[in-house]
Structure 1
Amino acid sequence: MSDLQKKRGTASFSLYALSFVLLWEWLRPVQQLTETGHIGTFLGFVFMSLSLSFLGVWSVLASLAKMIYILYSIAKIHYQGQVFNLSWLGLFLEDAQANLGAVWNGQWAEMSNPFRTLLFFILIWLVTYLIDYWLLNRKRILLFFLMTVVFITVIDTFTAYKGDAAILRVVVAGFAILGLLAFYRLAEKERLPSGHLHARKWIIPLVVMIAGSTLIAWTAPKANPIWPDPVPFIQSMNDGSGTEQGGTAKRVGYGSNDSSLGGPFVGDDSLVFTAEVEERHYWKVETKDVYTGKGWVSTKGEHPSHLEFSGETPPPIMSFYGNQDEVLRSTVHNEVDYAHIQYPHGVRKIVTDEFYLYRLNRQTGKITSLKDFEPEAPASYTVEYEKPAFRVKDLQDSSVEDDDEYAHSIHNTYTQLPEDLPPAIRELALEVTDGLETWYEKAQAVEKYFRNNGFVYDQVDVAIPEEDEDYVAQFLFETKRGYCDNFSTSMAVMLRTLDIPARWVKGYTDGEYVETLESGTRVYEVTNNNAHSWVEVYFPEVGWVPFEPTQGFSNNVVFQTEENSEVPADTEETEEAAAPVPLQPEREELEPEAASAAGSQDGWRKSAKSFLANNWKTFFGMIVLLAGAAALAYWKRGKWLPFYYILLFKLRKKDEHFPAAYLALLAQLERYGLRRRPGQTLREYAWEVDQFFSSREMRRLTDCYEQFLYRGTLAEGTWQKSREAWEYMIKKAG
């Protein structure tokens, strides 16, 4: 056991406290840049783990305490604090089992929040264990310190996180830890007597040096950067990238967490599924009913009500009322195993070649396919659905009857709004619908409001609301710039302020047309770029009616007038809005040489962009391969380093190179497993090595090295005479 393990005094406590500071710096940006909440709970776990290690608590008891803390935190965060009602534990175990199946199938987006919390706790547990190992056993923490510095600098460069103060705290804490560990290593090696005198002689100059250098670095004037900022160029490598307020862009596609909307996104044309359809339509995945001021969540949160059914029975989803004569079919060929079913509005049946069960989330309408009771997406399936066609007269005459309990339940659920919703949103909704009486007329007026009035469809320059700012209010009154989430959320919230039940729907548009088959069905490819959101409004005795407020999109819903003519819901010709092209600033006229240089730079930039766009998978694979090769080479360095040292010292013939060669041999012997014990003399160590290898060379080399240590010189020709013995020993240690 090392001195650091034996002595748990002030210096040891300082090491753990400073390590806590370094770990805290990893959690700070996680809270700001991601949707992770309850950072204080995770920070408490870090504190508890390091405290148990500092106190030397028996590992079994420490592990038990950590597991109790993790289960208590999960119950408090995700199960309404039912800590002592152990019924939540059964639900959590079932949830963990289902999530393990999703992880095994690579369905990362399907993981629930309780399971994500568990994984985060396990990650922190592993990191604190490594910190403890580095402090107590290795007494080296340089690698983790450098990783922390790189982490802070990278996120400060590429995200909205400001790391000025963080990098200062990291450098101070890191240098303090490195200094203390250097003292412990020196004390062990030199077998210094225990006591505070030697520690004070080391620590006081260390504190003065760190404080002084930090103060000078903080107050000294800084020169302007010499090199140009690489971030704009890196961002220019991606056509869909963009920032807002210093933020970063998300990648477009389906995701289950919509609690924090806003910000730019990067386009992604990865194929999700191919559809064979008789008529174009949107593909629904799920709906959300609770608007939080920042995004959407579901009423039941982590514990929704589920209903299972087979493909032979109609999905228990209420879309709209009325007997529709026209039943259509669409076939889906999945390319991504999301395990959820995307379906048209009015779905009646799901048909597959193999037997599947289906689990309906009754709050969100999300259908998960199950194979052998595990989530798995069918390779292909066919959905039968009623073609939505709504009579305008029915929509205008729709109203909530006093005895209609279901309509009242829908009304109460889908008119929810945050208590702190800015009143200006309702005032705007009243202004837009002034003079209109029916829900249908008001819904149409709000839908059309976004077609003009200065609103712009944009995927790049899209703001994220501040902590005290409402997502809808920011879009309506400040930016008026955004994509489908901004438009659809704003329409749903405005209707709710008018006491009209509306819900937020997410899924995919109809996709990109590919071809028409001989049967007359048309083939569409649906990619991540087709991920979309829209609005459904509930009309009593009619059902849920889709509306499309986003500029440039049309959901192909038909409204029938009294003359029995069909009127599309949206007459705009554009099927999908394209991101606006940023305006380029006018360039001043350049001299021929400068113009040539600029042209070559633009050509190089375009070539680099084209190369990355077309070969990014190969490029990424090469990086992974090189990283793996480097890791393997480092892991097996004990095998090839002897030959490297032999080659390195091959041409070095002067005696002054002998000490470096001897020290390299000592390092290689330690890698081989022959470690020199603390306090052991070189002569004793050489005797053990020679006994192990049944040789005499190590003692001969050590005699020469001790002559150098005590006399400061070497006899002429020492290295030439010792080279053969040195090569023999270093090959033995290979």
Structure 2
Amino acid sequence: MIKGNKKKETTTTLFLYLLGFLLLWEWLRPVDELTDTGNVYIFLGFLLLCLVISFTKVQMLLGALLKVVYILYFIHRYYFEGSFFQLSWFSQFWDDLILNISYSFQMEWNALTFEFRSLLFFILLWLMAYLIHYWLIIRRQMFIFFFMTLVYITVLDTFTPYEADGAIVRTVVVGFAVMGMLTFHRLVEREAIVKGVSSKGKWGLPLLLMIGASVALGFGGPKAEPIWPDPVPYLTSYSEDSGGGAGGQRVGYGTDDTSLGGPFIGDDTVVYETEVDQRHYWRVETKDIYTGKGWEVSSFDDPVPFTQNDVFPISSFNQEGLEVKELTANVSSVRSYPHIIYPLGLKSVSTENVSYSFRVNEGLEKVYTLEADRTAPLEEYTVSYDIPRYSVTAMKATKSLEEAGLSPEFIYQYTQLPETLPQRVKDLALEITGEQETWFDKARAVERYFGQNGFTYDQIDVAVPGADEDYVDQFLFETLRGYCDNYSTSMVVLLRSVGIPSRWVKGYTEGEYQGPTVSGKRGYTITNNNAHSWVEVYFPEVGWVPFEPTQGFSSNVQLNFDSTTENSTEVETPETEEQPEVERPEEAPEEAASTESSFSWKELWSKMEAGFVKHWKRGLITLSVMGLVAYIAYKLRLKWLPYVLVLIFRFRKKDDDFQRAYLALLKQLDRYGIKRKEHQTLRDYAEYVDYFFSSKDMGTLTSLYERYVYKGTLEEGSWDRTRELWENLIKKTIA
């Protein structure tokens, strides 16, 4: 009998750990979707290992040793070379650890390396796993963590592209189940109730019905429109301009780069709006001649013309040794620029206006837009491009210019340096790369150099080189302070000093996220503040590869460290240079604790527990009736929900309400069974709806909605004129 009870206790504890693991999983799901972090399953496996060690009650020192070995093994696997059992890599890791700890004390967060960031994330997960064990087994209370999980996913749902509908449902179901089981255990321990099938059934059945009824009501009930405005524009409106100062130049794209340096004034003027599948940098042009003061172009050959949907005349990759994924992006130009922005790996450009064509300057790699053979701005266009995964094995195959097999003209163009370049710049380049053998390792060493040697990102206190000073030399040895132009130019010069072909690229970062678009892509707004410059290095086996030396930025380049097994993406969420850090008020834990203790939650919860135990039959009947009503309402929602929608929007007069009404119509059509196919445009979907209902109403509404999306406003009275069409379609979905 005792063995049977122990077996039941073990099964219950295992189930609690499983539910705790599911709650922790909800914290990791957004990391995989919102960031470019690779191999999230490694962190998920670490969480599982921690909970298994706690469940099996492994001796503390042995459990800690297993966790440390797990962490070190995977850090070695993705950031270091050679055998795991060699001490050389650990010595390097230890030095890196000490360096990052010093950065932490100096609050230089942008200088932290990826190895250290991964270590911190492992430690965080270790602590979270222990807290789950503490709350589940020792305290028998889980509300705080359940509440924190809900807040976490709802905040992400509000401010990021993460869709948390399913996450909220899963969290509510798991959280209520855990809290119900823990409450039962506390009651058993406090009231000395005999555990058995009867007592568990009396508690468990109402719990299951309550959870089921809550989920059913949540799915079936009508959803009211938000009563508060979108908080994101309100919050961002208070951010200050990045940089600025009297006499400073205004930030943004410019064509003259012959004299770099000096402060700039922030400018949040919108220049582009984009719809993309994943964030990336936008190129405008490249330059290859460093003068000691800035950049020029070696040649202005006749531009190469090409038409819409033609293959882009300039290839950036060696397709034979590269894994690529083809994507498309939509660009709306707010400013009248006679050129386009495009990602590295451009394949073609298209637009609805057939009179437009393009030409590209091979020296600049700048794409101009033409209408009737004359340069003219293009408002909207679509670019098709390849996103590559660069094989580190392939890039490490090149160790010298002699074995690279490049033409003398190419080598001269992309390793050019002025004769006036100070010798100490070349000596520094040799010092940084002296222990590295391959071009890739040397490029990485230079890229990391700026984050480990006291350099400071600054937009204001930035020097301008004198008549006898070199721009790069001044930054590397005197000021150690600057913004993207300083970092990117210095990296190109250092690489060229050791014979590695590289070039300077300018354009824009991905911009500021605005939310998901109607097309299912992610919407971004690019302002003048997003103007940026970075580096591209040439590797014969793969082509041009972007590098990002500027502190606080990441070009989102995907690196495959093991071409035969897994892809490891090394990226970092960019902290764009144009956005100043917003100071957040520090929390006051003592005050919060006193507030919580002053409120009689404990007494209230005790009364609720006693009420449930005493009146569980009445509660069961009530929940059963509620569940049945919710189930019937959910099943019959197509009969009553259209009337509710019509009633909600009938008294709305503003033209801006049309957007909400149209989106509500799309959801209702989906419920009715008229599904919109993946990648299907709104116009094609509208044609299908009109064909289904034998009308033209959906096409009219969709045309008006597209004008609203692209222009941001509607003509006065548009909603009043189309309300009847909208109501007709809504009523046709009544089943």
Name the TM tier (shorter chain): 0.3 to 0.5
TM-score normalized with structure 2 length:
0.44
Q: Which is bigger in relative contact order (C-alpha 8 A, separation at least 6)?
A: 2
TM-score normalized with structure 1 length:
0.45
